[in-house]
Amino acid sequence: MKFNQFGLVLLLSGTMFCSAAAAFETTARNAILMDFDTGEYLYAKDITEAVPPASMSKLMTVYILMSKIKDGSIKLDDTFSVSENAWRKGGAATGGSTMFLAIGDEVTVEDLIKGIVIQSGNDACIVVAENIAGSEEDFAILMNKTAQKLGLKNSSFANSTGLPHPDHKMSMQDLAILSRHIISEFPDLYHYFSEKEFRYNNIKQGNRNPLLYTMAGADGLKTGHTEEAGFCLDASAVKGDRRLIEVMSGMSSNKERSEEAQRLMSWGFREFDNFKLFNQGQKITTANVWYGKKPEVNLTVAQDVLKTIHLSQTDKVKVTAEFDEPVKAPIAAGQEIGKLKISVNNQEPLEISLVAAEDVAKVGLLGRFWANVKYFVFGAK
C-alpha cells in the first residue's frame, strides 16, 4: 500500500482564517446542524435517538406526495376527496392543527400541500394518505418502506400526521436527511415551505416556522409540537452560496424554539465554511503500472471535492492518497485505483475515490516478457 500525504493551505478571499474555536451548547434535547452541500454535521446532540417527532414527521407525508407529483402519477390540479374519517380525526375538534376541511370537499393537491406545510393540517395529511394508499394504516406502511429506501435508520411511522403514538418516532439525523432529499429532489415544489400564510375556506393561517420572520434566507421546513415531543423545528436557510439544515426537539416554549433555532443557524454560518479542495479531473498523484504500455497512470478525482471546515481548523487539513502499486494493466479511465482520505484535526476522514485519468493498454506477450526480466534484474520500481 502506498501512502502519499500532503497538507493544504486554505485561503478565502486571500486571507487564512485562524479564529478561536467556539463551542456551542443548546437547551434543545436533541439537535443537529447539517451542511446541505457536503452532508457533514456541524453540530450533533443525541442525533440518532428515536424520539416523538410531532408534526415534523409530516415531511415524510409531503415527500411521498411530491415524489408522485415528480413521477407524473399525481398532478397539482388533481383533487382528493375528504372523508368523514379525515374530517373527524384531523379536524378542529381533536385539538390539533387543521386545514378546516369539510366532509365531501374536493381539494386540489396544491392546496393540500399548502395545508400541510403552511397550516400543518392533520386533516390534510389524512386526506393525502387515504387518497394515495386507501387508508392511513396502509399509508404508514408506505412511509416505513420509503424510510428504508432513503436510509433512515431510526424512524418508524404509525400515521401520516405525527400525532402521538408509541410506534411513531424519528431521529434528528433522519429528519435532516429527509429534509435534504426534499430540497434536492423537488426544487420546483420546495417554494411552498417558505410561504408565510395560506387561506382555505376563508380561514387564513400563518406559517409557524419562526425563522421565516426573523432570519434572512430562511425558507423551510416544518415545526412540531406535542406535550411529549416539546417544541420542535426542522429548518433550512441560505446565506450566500451555502445552505444549512437544522433539526431541534424538546424545547419548552415557542420563544425558546425561536431563539435556539436562530442561535444554532447563525453559529453554523459564522463558524464554518465550505472549501473546494480539488476540482473534478485534477491530477492528485501517479501510480506505477505493471504490464502497461505506459509506465505510470495519473490518478484524479471524478468530482469536485468540497469539505465543510471550522474556520479555526483550516491549517489542520491532512490529505492522504492510498493505493496499491504497481497497478496491473489494462486500466480503464475512471477505474477506481485507491482512496483519497481527507481529515481535519484527527476527525473521521472523508473518503473519495481515486480513479485513473486515462486508459492504459496492456502490452503484448513480448512486452510482458521484458517487464518480467526487468523486474527480476532491477526489482520493483
What is the DSSP track for 310-332?
Answer: ETT-TT-EEEEEEE-SSEESPB-
365's CB contacts (< 8 A; 6+ apart) are none
Closest C-alpha to 143, from 122, 131, 129: 129
Which residue, chain included where needed, has cell 434536492? 184
Helix (H) or strand (E) holding 296: strand 296-300
Q: Can you say whether the dihedral through the CA atoms of 139, 141, 145, 151 is positive or negative?
A: positive
In the set 45, 58, 89, 169, the catalytic residue is: 58
Count of Cβ atoms closer than 10 Å to residue 259 Cβ: 16
Please give the full DSSP string across 247-276, using - where no structure is assigned.
Answer: EEEEESSHHHHHHHHHHHHHHHHHHEEEEE
- HSE (side-chain half, CA atoms, 13 Å) at 69: 24
Whether the ω angle into residue 187 lies within 30 degrees of 0, i.e. cis, is: no
Question: Which of 83, 97, 120, 160 is labelled catalytic?
Answer: 120
Which of 110, 42, 99 shows the shortest CA–CA distance to 74?
A: 110
Question: Could you identify the residue written with the cell 479564529?
Answer: 19
Residues in Cβ contact with 277 at an 8 Å cutoff, skipping those fewer than 6 apart: 8, 10, 305, 306, 307, 317, 319, 342
Q: Tell me phi and psi for residue 116, to 5 degrees.
A: -85, -55
Q: Which of 307, 315, 308, 306 is nearest to 345 (CA)?
A: 315
Q: Which of the residues 55, 83, 155, 258 is marked catalytic?
A: 55
Judged by phi (left if over 0) then psi (alpha if -120 to 50, else beta), residue 79 lies in beta
Q: Does the annotation mark 55 as catalytic? A: yes
Which are the catalytic amino acids? 55, 58, 120
